[in-house]
Amino acid sequence: MDWVKQNLSLMVTGLVALALLGGAGYYFYSKMAKEKEISAQVDATLQTLTDYQNKEPFPNKKNLTQAEQNAQLLQAFMAKETQFFGDIPTNSSSYTSEFNSLLLNTLDQLKNRASEASVSLPTNFNFSFSAQRDLLQFDQTNLPLVTTQLADVKAICEVLYNAKVYALIAVRRAPVSTNDTAALSTQPQDYLANKKAVTNDTANAIILPYEVSFKCSTPELTAVLEGCATNRNGLLVQSVRVEPAEAESTEMEGGIYGPPAMGPMGAFGPMGVGGMMRQRYMGMAAGPYGRPPMAPAPTVQPSPVRPGSTGIILKEKPLRVALLIESIKLIQATQ
**Of the listed ranges 16-20, 139-143, 266-270, the one predicted with least confidence:** 266-270
- The whole-angstrom separation of Cα 200 and Cα 88 is 13
Q: Are 88 and 145 a contacting pair, CB within 8 Å?
A: yes
Dump strand ranges (E) for 33-143. 86-88
- Of 13-22, 91-100, 263-272, the range with the highest mean pLDDT is 13-22
**Residue 313: inside a domain:** no
Q: Is 111 helix (H, G, I), strand (E, B) or coil?
A: helix
pLDDT at 54: 75
pLDDT at 83: 60
Q: Are 332 and 87 a contacting pair, CB within 8 Å?
A: yes
Q: At 221, which CATH number?
A: 3.30.70.60
Q: Is 323 helix (H, G, I), strand (E, B) or coil?
A: strand
**Residue 140: inside a domain:** yes
Q: ω before 144 within 30° of 0 (cis)? A: no
Q: In which element (H, E) is residue 168 found?
A: strand 167-173
| 261 vs 156: which has the higher pLDDT | 156
**Residue 241: inside a domain:** yes
- The whole-angstrom separation of Cα 79 and Cα 295 is 58
Residue 221 has pLDDT above 90, yes or no: yes
Q: Is 133 helix (H, G, I), strand (E, B) or coil?
A: helix
| 303 vs 157: which has the higher pLDDT | 157
Contacts of 87 (CB under 8 A, 6+ apart): 329, 330, 331, 332
Residue 304 has pLDDT above 80, yes or no: no
Got the DSSP string for 230-296?
H-TT-EEEEEEEEEETTS--HHHHT-SSSPPP--TT-TTTTTHHHHHHHHHHHT----TT-PPPPPP
**Residue 109: inside a domain:** yes
pLDDT at 159: 95
Domain ranges, residue 214: 84-281+318-331
Give the residue among 180, 183, 241 at the shortest CA–CA distance from 215. Answer: 241
Question: What mean pLDDT comes out for the span 7-21?
Answer: 75
| 25 vs 119: which has the higher pLDDT | 119
DSSP label at residue 201 = T
* Residue 161: half-sphere exposure toward Cβ, Cα within 13 Å: 17
pLDDT at 24: 76
288 confidence band (pLDDT: 50, 70, 90): very low
- The whole-angstrom separation of Cα 243 and Cα 261 is 20
**Residue 61: inside a domain:** no
Residue 290 has pLDDT above 50, yes or no: no
Residue 305 has pLDDT above 90, yes or no: no
Q: Is 204 helix (H, G, I), strand (E, B) or coil?
A: coil
pLDDT at 57: 67
Question: What mean pLDDT comes out for the span 73-99?
Answer: 62
% the chain with pLDDT above 70: 68
- Which letter, b or e, does each residue of 66-84 get, where b requires 16 or more Cβ atoms within 10 Å of its Cβ? eeeeeeeeeeeeeeeeeee
**Of the listed ranges 77-86, 120-129, 159-168, the one predicted with least confidence:** 77-86
**Residue 263: inside a domain:** yes
Q: Do the strands 319-331 and 86-88 form a parallel or antiparallel pair, or are they unpaired? A: parallel
Number of independent structural domains in the chain: 1
- The whole-angstrom separation of Cα 264 and Cα 29 is 92
pTM: 0.59
**Residue 287: inside a domain:** no
pLDDT at 284: 43
Question: What mean pLDDT comes out for the span 224-237?
Answer: 88
Q: Are 52 and 64 a contacting pair, CB within 8 Å?
A: no
135 confidence band (pLDDT: 50, 70, 90): confident
- What is the rounded average pLDDT for all residues in the chain? 76
- Of 63-77, 226-240, 247-261, the range with the highest mean pLDDT is 226-240
pLDDT at 323: 94
Q: How many residues does the chain have?
A: 335
Question: What mean pLDDT comes out for the span 112-131?
Answer: 92
Q: Which residues pair with residue 198 across a beta bridge?
A: 207
| 114 vs 86: which has the higher pLDDT | 114
Question: What mean pLDDT comes out for the span 286-304?
Answer: 51
**Residue 131: inside a domain:** yes
3-state secondary structure 49-71: HHHHHHCCCCCCHHHHHHHHHHH
Residue 9 has pLDDT above 90, yes or no: no
Residue-wise pLDDT tens digits, 247-283: 654 444 455 545 444 443 444 444 454 555 555 544 4
Residue 287 has pLDDT above 90, yes or no: no
